[in-house]
Structure 1
């Protein structure tokens, strides 16, 4: 059912394709319809305190003939983050994917959403796994113990991500706003998100060292900044050593919110990966106009 329209990309408007309440949370799927029969369908999974429309800059640099499905998930911007009482982030992502009108040809996910998708890939071992792009994933390697130092570092990283996310969404406006006002805005964000939001972020970090990454059968591309603290070198090394079909693209110019701030560079890597791993197919599936 097509309920609304918002935004545009390559002259094609996004529209609300699914709007469903599931166990007390609203799950939505926004669609940019395909313009070419047989073009791949790509699902977009946003990160923590983000929203589906944060993918619009990247979508504008992706080929316009493919079908994009952007999920609107419970950890969206503005959430009270009580969703974890009714399931982990992986459970909620699986619920959202089950609402899709078609099986996706690929998944592109960012930050907290990327790690959630990675965890889901370790669980769905009996099903075909969609090629996945992990943009700036959050990951903790085995050799980092969960102690008081790690806890305080996690708080610092969480608050840093909140601040960077606000500045990324402000874009060029951030340079015109006095720094004290920006800091006050960041403080308001922290008031809304902590403590429930941090607890879910921390729980995710606590689970990543135990993920059975050897069970991931999907092709994986990791795109991140060389100096992104969310996935330090030890974490990247562990991902590369543990996942069978994985490749890495790192660029010192990429920020944690590179899908917003450097969408052209990210889109170039995503497009090349999809051309190889999720090419056009010849089925006769009807495409919405």
Structure 2
């Protein structure tokens, strides 16, 4: 049953398609239905509101792409990016238990991979691709190693949280992980505030960050730490899906050693790394991320796409 509508400038309006409770936790799916591709006439460049729209158009209708948000984020954090995606993509944004505002007790009822599998099972169609961010990207990465149903789905991992094998889990790593976790929480709040953050006094922003930490720690940090600890043991060589890594060169959640380890271990992998991308690039640099998502979708399933001219 469709429960609500949210406006969007691309495709149809966002609407809540699934609202499902499991052991006291809610799994929700938001959908942006596909709109048929419309040719762009060179005489009317105003039709291209965003640069990615019109570069690649789907030849068939409604290819399904699933969006998996990160820790202390929500499905809405994908809306900035989806404004740059073609209207003829059928988008599903998952609302998962590690959402913003959670007390993060969900791990008592299953690991993050179990919750993601449950959410994917609620989809009305088999996804053609998955785009996941940060903690959600790490969860999707682990799911790919298990060769579960749908494990061959092309996947974009945006700023994945990963620890290479050469970093021992010791007291130093524990303290560094706490610092990284708190940094991500702070950066995430500022990214979600967007331009509003510049109008809010610094002491108020710091107080807001403190409130988030008070709610999230310690349960949230424990899940973040467990995810980091499992990374080196993942059977990355078993991944059958094509994978694109998108990250910033200076993102502490995916340092160069971590990216190198992923590139060396995943069989079918490609990389876009840029010093201008932040950890929350899907919010802060959405056009650039969308461009690489579209190119990846074209490369992994070229028969779905037809090139269209771009007006100057």
Corresponding residue of 1:173? 196
1:62: how far off?
Answer: 0.8
Corresponding residue of 1:17? 17
Listed as ranges, the gaps of 5+ residues in structure 2 are: 37-59, 306-312
Is 1:125–1:216's contact at 8 Å kept on the other side of the alignment? no
Is 1:5–1:13's contact at 8 Å kept on the other side of the alignment? yes
Corresponding residue of 1:275? 298
1:23: how far off?
Answer: 2.2
**In the alignment, is residue 223 of structure 1 matched against residue 216 of structure 2?**
no
SS at match of 2:189: helix
Corresponding residue of 2:51? none
Corresponding residue of 2:160? 137
* Greater mean alpha carbon deviation, residues 120-129 or residues 232-241: 120-129
Is 2:298–2:304's contact at 8 Å kept on the other side of the alignment? no
Q: Which has the larger radius of gyration?
A: 2
Is 2:143–2:151's contact at 8 Å kept on the other side of the alignment? no
2:271 aligns with one of 237, 242, 248: 248
SS at match of 1:84: helix
Instruction: Provide, for residues 60-119 of structure 1, a one-character-per-residue CA deviation record: whole Å limited to 9, x for no partner.
Output: 011111100000000000111010001000010000001100000000000000000000
* TM-score, structure 2 as length reference: 0.88
1:213 aligns with one of 216, 236, 246: 236
1:12: how far off?
Answer: 2.1
1:125: how far off?
Answer: 5.3
1:115 aligns with one of 138, 142, 147: 138
Q: How many Å separate the matches in 2 of 1:9 and 1:64?
A: 9
**Alignment RMSD (CA, Å):** 1.4
Q: How many Å separate the matches in 2 of 1:182 and 1:7?
A: 29
1:280: how far off?
Answer: 5.8
1:186: how far off?
Answer: 0.4
Listed as ranges, the gaps of 5+ residues in structure 1 are: 283-289
Structure 1 runs (4+) deviating above 6 angstroms are none
**In the alignment, is residue 264 of structure 1 matched against residue 287 of structure 2?**
yes
1:106 aligns with one of 113, 129, 135: 129
2:172 aligns with one of 131, 134, 149: 149
Q: How many Å separate the matches in 1 of 2:34 and 2:302?
A: 14
Q: How many Å separate the matches in 2 of 1:126 and 1:132?
A: 14
Q: 1:214 to 1:6 in 2, by over 3 A?
A: same
Q: How many Å separate the matches in 2 of 1:192 and 1:97?
A: 28
Aligned length: 282
